[in-house]
Structure 1
Amino acid sequence: MEDSIFFTTRLKSKRKKKRLVKTDLEKEVRKHFKRQREISNEKNNIPLIPLEVPYQKGYVRYFVLRDDIKNEKDIAFFSEILSKINTEQFAPTKKFTKKEKRNRKRIDVPMIQHLKMLHPYEFSGKDSKLTDRERDYFIETQVYNQFTKTFQLFYEFIQPWRFRLIVKPNMITHYKPLDLELEREEAENDKFCDNHRNRGLFLKKIVGNGYSYDSKPNLKNPFKGKKFYNNKNSAFEIAEILMEQGNQVSKRYH
């Protein structure tokens, strides 16, 4: 009886054991990265507590509607646009300058502040922030990204003269308390997620952004280092042969 039970029981093979170890690790990675998002949301949802004595920390600069706009309809309309494209800048002084190196010297340079330019998904589509009338006041423009070395599409407000900058003291009136247990859990979770192996597994298996340096075929120049004047085939036949080889390589990598 014991022998029959032993032989009828399905034992795990070596390959299946290795597969189970990888599956368990993937589940653990999923759980930690999911918990990472949950902790971030919990920290953002911690209510602010008002300070007994507010204090000033530098200055803030932002756009407001000009005073010479007297039409009430225009005031409401452009105030709504401004709420969607307004920007803020902070500085320790009212000068709003920053240090830049010029001619081997670090000098103060005025900070430039612009209205926010909208991405294509913010301009139109299901996630759009604008109405049909508001879209008439934006123009398509391209901005060069020095990191990706490409031009990116944005939508810019065509009447920035309707707004002006004002400077006000940056008053700190509330603070967010620290949850020590949540901070400790976040530190332990981040240590696991920042591991090179775990993050690589997350990007490759879960997010799906894995890549390879050899993803593109390395097509060599067929005319380099070869002499075709001894070839008996005609130019058209040589071209057909090269096109067939190119098609075979392209089918292999698509």
Structure 2
Amino acid sequence: MENDNLLFSRLRSARSTKRTVRKDIIKQIRKKYKRSEELWSIKINIPWIPLENPYQRGFIRFFVVREDVMRSKDGELFEGILKKINTSMFSDSRQFLKKKRKFGKRIYVEKEQKLKRVSSWSWNDPKFGLTVQERQYFLKYEEYCPYRKCNEVYYEFIEPWRFILRVRPHMITHYKPIDFELEKEYAELESYVKHHKIAGIVQKTIYGKSNSWRTKKEDLHLIKSRRYIACRMSATEIAESFMDDIGPTII
């Protein structure tokens, strides 16, 4: 009888077994995720090797500060702004054309290139480096995002005429050697880690929460929020309700 009780005490319940299996799976996921991060760090730190014979591969178009603006007293100010919001575009030809259908015919039109928008996250990020004087040339906008299904705040430069587009040949002067074994291992790990179920476990167990893209909404009106829909009593109403409970004061 004592041997039977000892045997049953050593047997694990189904719930305990399931918990152990889940811990082992999470441990393996964390291990593979950490390895993928190490391989990514190795990839980006591979040094570039200069080419003996550089060659041209298409053209690149980007913004530069106008000469008259650069000669003014605020030339350095707008040059610093441009470094943060500049964009580049590549094309096989110097014209930067794209196909467009008009009246049933395909025609070529010039590609539109705009300055970069500043997100609300970058606006408040000290590493982005926008000074108080530079922020005076930006205007705040709000636009509905169909993917996140909410309004997103961004900041746009209000004087784009101070910059002009310039085209130059895109020269290839360096190359980065490829480690095929590293690329194969990294591709296998990324295919595993990027699976929607695995990615959810990684986000929840490593970073401590899910849906990290749900950033805190800026300038949220508490009365219009559903969380505070039942909390519309003002301070005066709350004070009056307390006075009614206490009753009249007798001196």
Q: TM-score, normalised by structure 1?
A: 0.71
- In structure 2, the partner of 1:209 is 210
Does the 8 A contact of 1:66 with 1:164 survive in 2? yes
- In structure 1, the partner of 2:35 is 35
Question: Against the structure 1 CA distance between its residues 196 and 135, is the aligned structure 2 distance closer, same or farther, given a 3 Å change threshold?
Answer: closer
Return the alpha-carbon distance in structure 1 between the equivalents of residues 159 and 200 of structure 2: 46
Q: What stretches of structure 2 of length at least 5 have no aligned partner?
A: 212-229, 231-251
Question: Against the structure 1 CA distance between its residues 192 and 144, is the aligned structure 2 distance closer, same or farther, given a 3 Å change threshold?
Answer: closer
1:140 is aligned to 2:140: yes
Does the 8 A contact of 1:121 with 1:127 survive in 2? no
- In structure 2, the partner of 1:66 is 66
1:30-87 Cα deviation digits (max 9, x unpaired): 2212222222222111111111111111100001111113646422221111111111
Percent of counterpart pairs with the same letter?
43
- In structure 2, the partner of 1:113 is 113
Amino acid at match of 1:209: S
1:79 is aligned to 2:110: no
Amino acid at match of 2:168: K
- In structure 1, the partner of 2:214 is none
1:204, CA displacement in angstroms? 5.6
Return the alpha-carbon distance in structure 2 between the equivalents of residues 96 and 139 of structure 1: 29
Amino acid at match of 1:176: K
Return the alpha-carbon distance in structure 2 between the equivalents of residues 195 and 121 of structure 1: 27
Q: Secondary structure of the equivalent of 2:129?
A: coil
Question: Against the structure 1 CA distance between its residues 197 and 142, is the aligned structure 2 distance closer, same or farther, given a 3 Å change threshold?
Answer: closer
1:150, CA displacement in angstroms? 5.0
Q: Secondary structure of the equivalent of 1:68?
A: helix
Amino acid at match of 2:100: E
Return the alpha-carbon distance in structure 2 between the equivalents of residues 22 and 35 of structure 1: 20
Return the alpha-carbon distance in structure 1 between the equivalents of residues 157 and 3 of structure 2: 82
Does the 8 A contact of 2:143 with 2:152 survive in 1? yes
- In structure 2, the partner of 1:129 is 129
Number of matched residues?
210
Q: Secondary structure of the equivalent of 1:69?
A: helix
Question: Against the structure 1 CA distance between its residues 143 and 58, is the aligned structure 2 distance closer, same or farther, given a 3 Å change threshold?
Answer: farther
- In structure 2, the partner of 1:25 is 25
- In structure 2, the partner of 1:94 is 94
- In structure 1, the partner of 2:44 is 44
Question: Against the structure 1 CA distance between its residues 59 and 134, is the aligned structure 2 distance closer, same or farther, given a 3 Å change threshold?
Answer: same
Return the alpha-carbon distance in structure 2 between the equivalents of residues 160 and 209 of structure 1: 39
Q: Secondary structure of the equivalent of 2:133?
A: helix
Q: What stretches of structure 1 of length at least 5 have no aligned partner?
A: 211-246, 248-254
Does the 8 A contact of 1:33 with 1:193 survive in 2? yes
Return the alpha-carbon distance in structure 1 between the equivalents of residues 201 and 102 of structure 2: 45
- What root-mean-square deviation, in Å, do the aligned CA atoms of Structure 1 and Structure 2 show? 2.9
Q: TM-score, normalised by structure 2?
A: 0.72
Question: Against the structure 1 CA distance between its residues 157 and 55, is the aligned structure 2 distance closer, same or farther, given a 3 Å change threshold?
Answer: same
